[in-house]
């Protein structure tokens, strides 16, 4: 019985990854990652207690980013706390949960994800699904990068307060 559940979960995750990978570089709203401004102060920011705003969905294979839609100050925000909890917002829903992190290796996993269940707008479901696939993170000059699929894809965030 446990093996059957494991196979079903594996199939479900494979479908999600395939859907996420399907975004191609010619999709509307997709630009070169080089167009995202770098800030030398970003790597000094704290992972926790910083409010992060999603810029978009990065495809490392072709060095592009699909800008998250809708573009609103209220959408796609996320804050991680030192007690291994997080809270934020998708396109329309409030979300919160728990995470596990290893700052030495850069490993990060969302282990509990809870949210309201109003129908997501535009990239909202894509964002929520991607959060569940996260397995690593880094804070670089473009912002917080939450990686999935062997770092081939990531969610790129900027801190809410620009420098």
Q: What is the CATH number for 61? A: 2.40.128.270
CA distances from 31 to 24, 56, 149 (A): 11, 10, 21
| pLDDT tens profile 81-117 | 999 999 999 998 999 999 999 999 999 999 999 988 7
The answer to whether 20 touches 153, Cβ cutoff 8 Å, is: yes
Is the per-residue pLDDT at 125 higher than 80? yes
pLDDT top residue among 5 and 146? 146
For range 48-59, the mean pLDDT: 96
Domain that holds residue 150: 2-159
Q: How many CA atoms lie within 13 A of 62 on its CB side?
A: 14
Helix axes 2-21, 124-133, angle to 10 degrees: 130
Is the per-residue pLDDT at 17 higher than 90? no
pLDDT at 136: 98
| pTM, full prediction | 0.81
Tell me the three state secondary structure of residue 74. coil
pLDDT at 26: 61
Is the per-residue pLDDT at 140 higher than 60? yes
CA dist., res. 52 & res. 112, Å (int): 19
Tell me the three state secondary structure of residue 4. helix
Domain tally, the chain: 1
């Amino acid at each position: 019985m446990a093996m059957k559940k494991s196979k079903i979960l594996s199939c479900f995750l494979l479908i999600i990854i395939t859907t996420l990978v399907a975004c191609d570089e010619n999709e509307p709203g997709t630009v070169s990652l080089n167009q995202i401004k770098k800030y030398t102060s970003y790597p000094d920011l704290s992972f926790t207690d910083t409010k992060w705003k999603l810029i978009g969905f990065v495809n490392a294979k072709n060095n592009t980013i699909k800008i998250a839609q809708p573009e609103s100050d209220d959408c796609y925000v996320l804050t991680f706390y030192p007690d291994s909890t997080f809270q934020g917002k998708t396109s329309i829903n409030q979300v919160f949960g728990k995470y596990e992190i290893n700052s030495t290796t850069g490993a990060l996993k969302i282990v509990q994800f809870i949210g309201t269940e109003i129908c997501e707008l535009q990239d909202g479901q894509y964002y929520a699904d991607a959060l569940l696939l996260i397995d690593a993170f880094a804070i670089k000059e473009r912002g917080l990068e939450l990686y999935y699929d062997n770092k081939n894809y990531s969610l790129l965030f900027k801190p809410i307060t620009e420098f």
